Structure 1
């Protein structure tokens, strides 16, 4: 049986973690798509508490073979984890699960919860042995698609204006705070959404690196009704993080207009691909909207859930 050593991660481990994640990307989706700054953003999250909520497993030669990170956005029973393991290192992967589940139960107990409801996102065909996961009581509860579309200046000109609708960017602090409020309001009923303060939201966005000219607020007849959050610092593609429209303004083509506007801006910047993630059971019809605009599945991601008891 292969041996391995486990220790907490440190910020300086980001390059090794990024290399591991890109190796797993190549195995799961055919090409590396993880950027170093994404790993660094995860590691510097306040909630991460690396000394207690991160794990690295190295083999006898010092090679990183598995990585885990745990965070607590809910302050209650919901705990989130990330878990990555090379396919020939399932023993190390199982050990990290043991440690992560134990820590999740501790966090939930510290929050005053009677149980820990732990969520994990995995590629639909992961390097992790799913029998290991299922044997520990985990089950799939949701599926997401990462969707992509080619963009170009020839195919994606600036869309015609919608009557009464204007868009503005978020360089001003007041508009940044408004973008946060609109995000919270439009995402509140979505599966797995956890409310975030403005300060927490900025950390989630890695705001120090964010180009605020790629965040747009949609205003209809003088009322702010929608928001699109995007970024252009991923090597693989431009990325749309969120499109949200208030319930009372839906059905008027605002989300589609925001999407087409984003395509046009990316194309003008010289990008050739745009991507986003979508819950396939989204009640607002987001999947149909994206398909209608030419987006297609790049790969699928499953949300897995496990409910753990906690010590009194």
Structure 2
């Protein structure tokens, strides 16, 4: 006799911390550290319809597994489970594929760490193909990092709440052609990235009254994490990105952080991976984006 499928319920915004904890232990089990914060999940959920496109599996009052989908031209799914409950992942992926088909989606994407043999076997057996690779890059902060060298006319400054609009606009311009980038409505972005976040590690490189570049960083345990680093097209190839990065490293070290980390598209057309290697970072883990044709 076959067992009945697990009971699920949709996620709500109030579940974000419990979901972040499942993802934290999932990441630690596979790569040794957490790679996604509660703030990141809040941003991802702004593009998801949680009542119809998310699923939580609970047991004895504890969240064991989570999945959600983001619909669009290429739909995206996210699936995570606690160690010992990875048997739930095929069931959750079934739900995600079913929801995307119901919505008329043609493709579905799902990430897998390169070291995650279980996830890799699951997606390849279902006909998913790798379409993109992302790196987590790290650098130990064993001493004070080199001071940044700012190009002439460029002035670094801490982010202020009144800078929110120009900071947001600079992100949209800098990342407009990045693979997989989804812009949020400004009010949603300001809520999750300014009103509900610690902005003390957000930095702006000013050229007069124009934003030339920016860094959105945060503390993650013993790490300083660069969540987003960008330079607007008209200011590229001048060393602003490297200066912002070194500025962030200095701030991390001043706060007692033991390492700096970030994520990057391995095929980034701006050559970001080379920049990060030049400042001393190395690839610590690899994430593969798989895609399946649902037609």
TM, length-normalised to structure 1: 0.82
In structure 2, what is the Cα distance between the partners aligned to 1:169 and 1:141? Answer: 37
2:134 maps to 1:135 = no
C-alpha separation in 2, matches of 1:30 and 1:296: 16
- List alignment gaps of at least 5 residues for structure 1: 110-114
CA contact (8 A) 1:4 1:58 kept: no
Q: Which residue does the alignment assign to 2:166?
A: 178
Which residue does the alignment assign to 2:29? 27
Give the TM-score taking structure 2 as reference length: 0.86
Structure 2: 5+ residue runs without aligned partners? none
Residue 272 of structure 1 is matched in structure 2 by: 258
Cα distance in 2, alignment partners of residues 119 and 71 from structure 1: 10
The alignment status of 1:231 with 2:233, answered yes or no, reads no
Quick check: 1:118 aligned with 2:108? Answer: yes
Distance 1:169 1:85 in 2: 37
CA RMSD in angstroms, aligned pairs only: 2.8
Contact 1:170 1:213 (C-alpha < 8 Å) held by counterparts: yes
8 A contact 2:67–2:79 mirrored in 1: yes
CA distance in 2, matches of 1:63, 1:133: 27
CA shift at 1:280, angstroms? Answer: 0.9
Paired residue for 1:103? 99
Matches within 5 A, 1:1-312: 5-8=6-9, 9-11=11-13, 13-14=15-16, 16-31=18-33, 37-38=38-39, 41=42, 45-58=45-58, 64-72=63-71, 76-85=72-81, 89=85, 91-107=87-103, 109=104, 115-126=105-116, 128-151=118-141, 154-156=143-145, 158-173=147-162, 175-203=163-191, 205=193, 207-220=194-207, 223-232=210-219, 234-309=220-295
What's the offset of the Cα at 1:93?
1.6
Structure 2 equivalent of residue 112 of structure 1: none
> How far off its partner does 1:242 sit?
1.3
